[in-house]
């Protein structure tokens, strides 16, 4: 019963994160969400394509939703990179790494957030997701939530 509840909760969390990250949307005229990585199945290092985050003000929040599907001693590390060009020139954003998720039990799920300084971000942001352990599998969605300068 506990496993079924954990699986149902994990599925719900992934669904919520994936649904909210599918497209940009407008809440109260200024706050929007941009998908940086949507519904990734991560069993090796994954480097996502950059997402255009140009025009945000204040301190955007990055939301990481994850579920562990299995593996022995699985770990998940996620860091964000930025570039002025979509294709090349990415560098790590200072302070924009999530605390590593370690020894997640099968079915474990969670939501973690970090804030990033808008001055440290160029036009594009991408995520680099790295897993460790034996046969680790995580499902992840990463979303930026922030205020647009002009609407």
Rounded to 5 degrees, φ, ψ at 86 are -65, -35
Domain containing residue 91: 2-148
Q: What angle do CA 73, 74, 80 make, to 5 degrees?
A: 145
Q: Are 76 and 130 in contact (CB under 8 A)?
A: yes
22 — pLDDT class (breaks 50, 70, 90): very low
| pLDDT the model gives residue 150 | 67
Percent with pLDDT over 90 in the chain: 50
Can you tell me the distance from the alpha carbon of 47 to that of 37, in angstroms, rounded to the nearest whole number?
9
Domains contained in the chain, number: 1
List helix spans (H) across the chain: 2-21
DSSP for 50-91? PEE-TTEEEEEEEEEEEEEEEEEEEEEEEEEEEESSSSS--E
pLDDT tops 50 at residue 1: no
28 — pLDDT class (breaks 50, 70, 90): very low
| pLDDT the model gives residue 104 | 83
Instruction: For 85-134, write each residue's pLDDT tens digit.
Output: 999 999 999 989 999 999 888 888 999 999 887 778 899 999 999 999 99
Q: At 33, which CATH number? A: 2.60.120
- Cβ neighbours around 27 below 10 Å, total: 9
Token duo for residue 30 = 């200024």
Q: How far is the CA of 46 from the CAs of 17, 55, 149, in angstroms? A: 18, 26, 31
Q: What angle do CA 121, 81, 86 make, to 5 degrees?
A: 80
| pLDDT the model gives residue 93 | 92
Per the model's pLDDT, the better-predicted residue between 142 and 103 turns out to be: 142
82 — pLDDT class (breaks 50, 70, 90): very high
């Amino acid at each position: 019963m506990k496993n079924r509840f954990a699986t149902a909760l994990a599925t719900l969390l992934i669904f919520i994160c994936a649904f909210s990250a599918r497209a940009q949307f407008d809440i109260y005229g200024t706050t929007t969400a941009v998908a940086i990585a949507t519904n990734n199945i991560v069993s090796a290092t994954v480097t996502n394509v950059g997402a255009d985050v140009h025009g945000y003000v204040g301190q955007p929040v990055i939301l990481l939703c994850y579920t562990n599907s299995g593996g022995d001693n699985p770990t998940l590390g996620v860091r964000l990179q930025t570039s002025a060009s979509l294709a090349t020139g990415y560098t790590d954003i200072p302070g924009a790494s999530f605390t590593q998720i370690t020894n997640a039990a099968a079915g474990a799920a969670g939501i973690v957030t970090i804030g990033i300084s808008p001055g440290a971000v160029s036009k594009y942001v991408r995520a680099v997701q790295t897993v460790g352990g034996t046969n680790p599998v995580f499902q992840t969605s990463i979303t930026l939530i922030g205020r647009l300068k002009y609407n």
